[in-house]
Amino acid sequence: MTISRITQAWPSVIVFPDLAWNRSPFAAPLQSITAKHRIGWVTNRPDRTLEDAPPCITPLSLADCDHVDWSKATAIVLHPYWAPFLLPRRPRLLGFCTSGQSQPGGTDEHADKWRDRLSGEASFVLTSSEPYYLDLAFRRDGVFVMDGADDTSDWFALQALLWAADGTDPLPLARLQQQRREAAYRERIAVAGDNAVISFYRSVYLYLLGDASQAQKELLCAFEQAVLSGDEHSLSDIYRFRSAIQTALGQTAEAAMTYETTAVTDQERTNAAQLRLRLEAGQTDIAAAMLLRWNDDHRGAVARLEKLLQTETAEEEASDAAGAATAERTAFIQQLLIDSLLQAGRIRQANAHLAEWRTFKVRDRCEYELLRGTARLYEGRRLKAVRAFLRAAELRHDAIGALSELAHIDAAAKRLAEGESSHA
Amino acid sequence: MRTVSILTHSYVDGYNRKFNRLFGGGLERYIRELCSVIRAAGWKPVVHQLSYFESFRTEYEGTEVIGYTYELGQTASAFEAMAEQAEGLLVYASCLWHPIRYRPGSIGICHGINWDHGSIASGTKDGVAAAFRNALRSLDRVVSVDSHFQTYARSVCEFDDADRIVLIPNSVDTKHFTPLTPDSGGSLVRPARRRGLRVLIPRRLSYERGVITMMLAADELLAEHGGLVVEFAGELVEGTSIADAFRLWHDCHPDRNRIEQRAYAMDEVQQAYARADIAVIPTVFSEGTSLACLEAMSSGLPVVATNVGGLNDLVIDRLNGLLVPPNSAAIAGAIRELILDKPLRRKLGKLGRETALSFDISRWRARWTAVLEAQLGVR
Amino acid sequence: MRSVRKPSDNKLTVMMQVRNERGRYLEASLTELSELADEIVIVDDASTDGTPELCRSFPKVVRLVELRRPMFAEEWKLRSLLWETAVSTEPDWLLAIDADEFLERRAGRQLRELINQDRYDWAALRMYDFWGSLTHYRDDMWWNLHRRHTMMLVRYIPGYHYAYPRWDHHVPRLPYTCAALPGVRTELRAKHYGWAGSQEEREAKYERYKRMDPDGRWGSIDQYESILDPAPNLIRWSEEE
C-alpha cells in the first residue's frame, strides 16, 4: 500500500534499505526514531521487506520517490548502491549507515568502492566499525560510530540520527562523541595499564580532537609497548604517525625527519627525498600537506591545500612576473588537492578543480573523464555521465568497466527495492 | 579426385553446438566460398575444425566437416592432430599466430592483423612475430587478405621466395550487392522520401569495431540533425560490457527513437544497405579487408572508414570514400560533411561502386583457383 | 637539509661504561678501539682503581663522565646517562662495547663498510663467552649467547624516540626502540673476556651474583650455579681471515 499523493504528507525520514526490516543491522537505532517520526521505507515489495515492522514504518515505492519533496526529507541510506538514485534528488540531509566491512564472500566487487564514495558525499556517516570510523574521520567531518563499546558514545550516535530526523545537521555531535571515546580510552589505560593498541587509539582520538602534544605522548607510549611486545611493524604502523602529530604541532622539519626515519620501501624513500627538497626550497606548507597525506589525514591535507591554493592564486594574479616555478608549485598543490579530495570521497569538489587542470597524458585524461562522469551521475545528469564514461572508454579500453558498473548498480538498486539481495 | 583439406578453428557452429549451420563470422563465410571454389575446380573439399564439445562428423552444402575435441590452450597441437588425419593438400585457414608444426607442402591464410593496437603488450606482439616467422618458413604459400599483413610479413619475416606471400584481397558479390538505380528493378524499392538521412554501421558491436567511438560520434550528429537516424546493424552480445554500455546509452538518450540496433541474417543484410544513405566502418583495430566495407561500397553507399588495416587498401580519402583516424571527433566530422554535401555523397558512392567491381568475387575465385592449381601441380 | 641516513663519511663513536677495569683488559681495549673508531665516550661508575686516568690517557676519549657514587644497582639510569653523553657528541654511529669485549679481526676490518650505507640502522654480532682462557669459549646449555645476536652498532638518528626499560639489572646496552628500525644480523663475532680469567675470579663473580640476586629475580639461579661447573664444554676459537 503506497501513500496517496493527495491525502497524506510524506514521511520526513525515508530509509533506503539494505535488507528486509527484520534482518537489517540498523533496524534497532532506526526504531528509536519512530517515537517522534514516521519513517518511510523504500520498497516495491512491502510484503517481503516489512514483515514484522512496526506500523509507523510506511512503505514507499520507487515510483513514489519521484513525488517526494526531498528538500524537506532526511534520507537514511543503508546500502551504497542507492547513491546514483538518491544523490541527484538532493535530500535536505543524507545519512549513510554502514558496517564498514567488506562484503563477505567478495562477490560484490563494486560495493566497497561505492561505500567509500557515498561516505564522502553523505551529510554524515554512521558506522558500526571503529577502524572504519577512524579511517573516515581522517577524511571528513560528521562521522559517528555505534559499536556497543561504550553506552555514552553510542548515545551520541543515536542522537545524531534523531537530530537528522528532525532536519538538523548532527555535525556538532561528532566532536562530542570523539571526546567521550577519548575519555573512555583514558579510563581503560588507568585501569588496565599500558597497552600498545589502546594507547595508539587514544593517541589517534587526541589528534582528531586537536590535542597534538598529548597525542604525541600517548603515541610514544604505544610505540614503546609495541616494540617491547615484539611487534615487527611498529615503525610504520605506529611510529610513523608521529610525523602527522609533529606536523600538527607546526614542527614540519622534525616531522620530515620522523617520516624519513620510517621510510624503508623505495617509494617511501622517494617521498622522503621529495620532502627534503620542498623544505630546502622553503615550501614548508607544501611539505606539511604531503606529510598529512602520507599519514592518510586527507581532511587535514585538504584544509591546508585549499588555503595554500588561494594564497598561491592570489599571488599569481597580483604579480605579473609569476614565473615557471610558481606555475609548477600551483599545479603541484592543485594535483595534491584533487587527489586528497578524491581520497576523501569528495568527487564533485575534485571535479570542480579538475576543470582548470590541463593534461595531455592519456591516462590522466581518461581519469578526468571518469571523474567527470561520476560527478554528473551525482547531479542526476545521466546522459552526460554516460558520455563522459564513453569518452574515457574511447581513450582506454578498460575504462568501459565504469559503464558495466553503472548497469550493475542500477540492477542492484532495483533488486534492493524488491527485497532481494543486492548481488545476483 | 584431388582432395583439399581446410584446417580451421571454426566453421560450423561449434561454439553453440549447432553443427548444422555455420557460425556467422567472416572466417566461416570465407571458408564457405573457398569450398565452393574447390568444388568448382573439380576437387574435393574437406573441412577439419575444432569442437568445444564432442567430436563430430557432418556435411554442409556437400562438404564433409569433421570436428575434433581439443583442450583449451592447446591449439597448436590440435591443428597438428587434425593435419595427421587430413588428406591431400592442406590449407591452414586460421590460427597462424600459433606455433604450429606445419606439414610440408601446405598453404596458410592470414585474415589480417588483429594485434595492431597500442595497448597490446609488446611481449604479445613479439610472440606473434615469432609465430609468423615460423609460418613463413614452413609453409609454401601464405595467402594474405590485405596489403597490411603482406607488408608486415615482408618486414618481419625472412624468406627467399618472393612469391611466398600472395595477396588475394577479400571480395564482394557485386551482382548481389548493388546500388539502387531507377532501372535496377528487382525487389528492392527505395522507401518513400524521409525527413532525414540514415547512417548505417554494418558491424558487430564490439570495441575493436569501434562501437564506442561511433556512439560518441552519433551523439553529436543526432543533436545537430533532427531527422537523422543511426542504425547499428550488428550483433550485440548480451552480458558483455559493450552490451551494458550500449543499453545504458540508448536507454537514457533523448533521441533513442532515432537510434536503432538489430542483427541481420546473412541474406537480409542488403536491405540495410538499401535503406541507408551513408555507411560507416569505424574500426579501431583488427581489420583485414573489410567485407562490410566492400558490401557498402558495392551497394553504392558513400563510406566513412577509419585508416586501420585493410581499410586503407579500399578507400582513398575523398576519392572513393572518406578515410579518417579512428577517433570520434574525426568520424563525426566526416559524417557531418557527407550529410551536408549531397554531390559528394553521390560522387563517393559512384566511385565506391567502381572500386568494388575490382574486388568482385569472380576475381577472387580465379586467383584462388590459380593458387590451388599451382600448389597441386607442384605436389 | 641533510638526509637522516648518510651513506658515507659516518663518524663512529664508541660508548662504554667502566668500573675498576684498570689492570684487566681496558688498556688493550682502548688501544684497539682507538684504531677502529673516531671518538670514544666513557662513563666511569665510581671506580676506585685509577680507571679514569687510564681512560684520559687516550686522545680519542672525547667525553669522560666520572660518577662519584656508583649507579650500577640502577642500571637503567647508568645506561641512559651513557647514552645521553654519547649522543651529545653528535655521533653518526655508535658502537656499544664493554671494556672486556673485543671484535674479531674480520669485524674490525668490516666496520666502516657496515656503517657507510643508508639501508639499515643497526648491526648485531655474535658474542662469544671465553672461558678460563683467551683461546676457548664455552658452549653449553647456559652459555650460548653466540647462538643469538647481540646488537652492538646503531645509527644515531636525532629526533628518534630512544628508550631504555626501567630495570635495575640486565638492561640492554642499547635502547630497545632501536629494534624497530631496519637492521642486519651479521655473522661477525665479538669476544667477551669477562669469564676468561682465573677460577678465583669466576668464583668471586658467582658470589657477587648470589649476594645481589639471591632469589633469581634478575637472572637465572641455574645459570649462576653453572658458573661453578667443573667441566664446561669448551671450544677452541679460530680467528677468521
Using the predicted structure, report yes or no on whether residue A356 has a pLDDT greater than 80: no
What pLDDT score was predicted for residue A106? 55
CA angle A175-A178-A179, nearest 5°?
A: 90
3-class secondary structure, C84: helix
CB contact under 8 A, A400 and B328: no
CATH 3.40.50 fits A13-176, yes or no: yes
What pLDDT score was predicted for residue A53? 87
CB contact under 8 A, C159 and A272: no
pLDDT tens-digit map of B261-276: 998 887 888 899 999 9
Give me the residues of C, 3-42, that contact A with CB < 8 A: 3-5
CB contact under 8 A, C177 and A258: no
Confidence bin at A228 (pLDDT 50/70/90): very high
CB contact under 8 A, B244 and A387: no
Q: Do C and A share at least 3 CB pairs under 8 Å?
A: yes
User: Chain A closest CA to C162's CA: distance in Å?
Assistant: 9
CA A346 – CA A332 distance, rounded (Å) = 19
At residue C192, φ and ψ (nearest 5 deg) are -105, 120
Answer positive or negative: Cα dihedral of B142, B145, B149, B154: positive
CB contact under 8 A, A234 and C157: no
Q: Mean pLDDT over residues B335-359, rounded?
A: 96
Confidence bin at A103 (pLDDT 50/70/90): low
CA A152 – CA A154 distance, rounded (Å) = 5
What pLDDT score was predicted for residue B22? 87
Confidence bin at A165 (pLDDT 50/70/90): very high
What pLDDT score was predicted for residue B185? 45
Confidence bin at B360 (pLDDT 50/70/90): very high
The number of residues making up chain B comes to 379
Answer positive or negative: Cα dihedral of B370, B372, B375, B379: negative
Using a CB-CB cut-off of 8 Å, the residues of chain A touching B119 are: 396-397
CA A188 – CA C229 distance, rounded (Å) = 49
The mean predicted confidence, pLDDT, of chain C is 94
What pLDDT score was predicted for residue B52? 83
- C2, C4, C10, C14: CA torsion to nearest 10: 130
CB contact under 8 A, A223 and C179: no
The residue of chain A with its CA nearest to that of C157 is A261
Residue of A394, A400, A408 lying closest to B328 (CB–CB): A394
Q: Mean pLDDT over residues A84-111, rounded?
A: 85
CB contact under 8 A, A394 and B242: no
What pLDDT score was predicted for residue B186? 43
Q: Are A173 and A142 in contact (CB under 8 A)?
A: no
Q: Are A127 and A136 in contact (CB under 8 A)?
A: yes
CA A359 – CA B328 distance, rounded (Å) = 19
pLDDT tens-digit map of C147-181: 999 999 999 999 999 999 998 888 999 999 999 99
What pLDDT score was predicted for residue A360? 63
CA A232 – CA B133 distance, rounded (Å) = 54
ipTM of the complex: 0.93
Domains of chain B: 3-171+361-378 (3.40.50.2000), 198-357 (3.40.50.2000)
The residue of chain A with its CA nearest to that of B120 is A397
The residue of chain C with its CA nearest to that of A255 is C159
Using a CB-CB cut-off of 8 Å, the residues of chain A touching C155 are: none
Sequence spans of domains, chain A: 13-176, 193-296
Using the predicted structure, report yes or no on whether residue B187 has a pLDDT greater than 60: no
Using the predicted structure, report yes or no on whether residue A333 has a pLDDT greater than 70: yes
Q: Which residues of chain C have pLDDT under 70?
A: 241
A5 vs A424, which has greater pLDDT?
A424
3-class secondary structure, B111: coil
H-type helices in A229-297, by residue range? 234, 241-248, 252-261, 266-280, 284-294
Which set of grid coordinates corresponds to residue B116? 595492431
The mean predicted confidence, pLDDT, of chain B is 91
Using a CB-CB cut-off of 8 Å, the residues of chain A touching B215 are: 390
CB contact under 8 A, A393 and B212: yes
Sequence spans of domains, chain C: 12-129+143-195
Residue of A235, A256, A279 lying closest to C180 (CB–CB): A235
Q: Are C85 and C41 in contact (CB under 8 A)?
A: yes
Residue corresponding to grid cell 667477551: C192
Q: Are A333 and A366 in contact (CB under 8 A)?
A: no
Confidence bin at B138 (pLDDT 50/70/90): very high
pLDDT tens-digit map of B62-96: 999 999 998 888 899 999 999 999 999 999 999 99
User: Chain C closest CA to A188's CA: distance in Å?
Assistant: 23
Residue of B212, B241, B248 lying closest to A394 (CB–CB): B212
Residue of C159, C163, C181 lying closest to A235 (CB–CB): C181
Residue of B119, B245, B254 lying closest to A390 (CB–CB): B245
Contacts for C199 with CB less than 8 Å, ≥ 6 apart: C132
Is residue C182 within 8 angstroms of chain A, CB to CB? yes
Using a CB-CB cut-off of 8 Å, the residues of chain A touching C180 are: 223, 226-227, 234-235, 239
| DSSP string of A118-160, one letter each residue | HHHHSSEEEES-HHHHHHHHTT-S-EEE--SS-HHHHHHHHHH
Using the predicted structure, report yes or no on whether residue A8 has a pLDDT greater than 70: no
Neighbours of chain C (3+ CB pairs under 8 A): A
User: Chain A closest CA to C78's CA: distance in Å?
Assistant: 20
CATH number of C12-129+143-195: 3.90.550.10
What pLDDT score was predicted for residue A194? 87
The number of residues making up chain C comes to 241
DSSP at A10: P
Which set of grid coordinates corresponds to residue A50? 516489512
| B193-196, Cβ contacts within 8 angstroms, sequence gap of 24 or more | B194/B227, B194/B229, B195/B226, B195/B227, B196/B225, B196/B226, B196/B227, B196/B228, B196/B229, B196/B258
Q: Mean pLDDT over residues A174-192, rounded?
A: 96
Using a CB-CB cut-off of 8 Å, the residues of chain C touching A256 are: 1
Identify the H or E element spanning C14: strand C12-18
Confidence bin at B237 (pLDDT 50/70/90): confident
Using a CB-CB cut-off of 8 Å, the residues of chain A touching C1 are: 253, 256, 276, 279-280
H-type helices in chain C, by residue range? 26-36, 51-56, 75-87, 105-115, 199-212, 221-226
Q: Mean pLDDT over residues A150-177, rounded?
A: 96
Identify the H or E element spanning A179: helix A171-192
Contacts for A341 with CB less than 8 Å, ≥ 6 apart: A298, A302, A347, A349, A350, A353
User: Chain B closest CA to A305's CA: distance in Å?
Assistant: 35
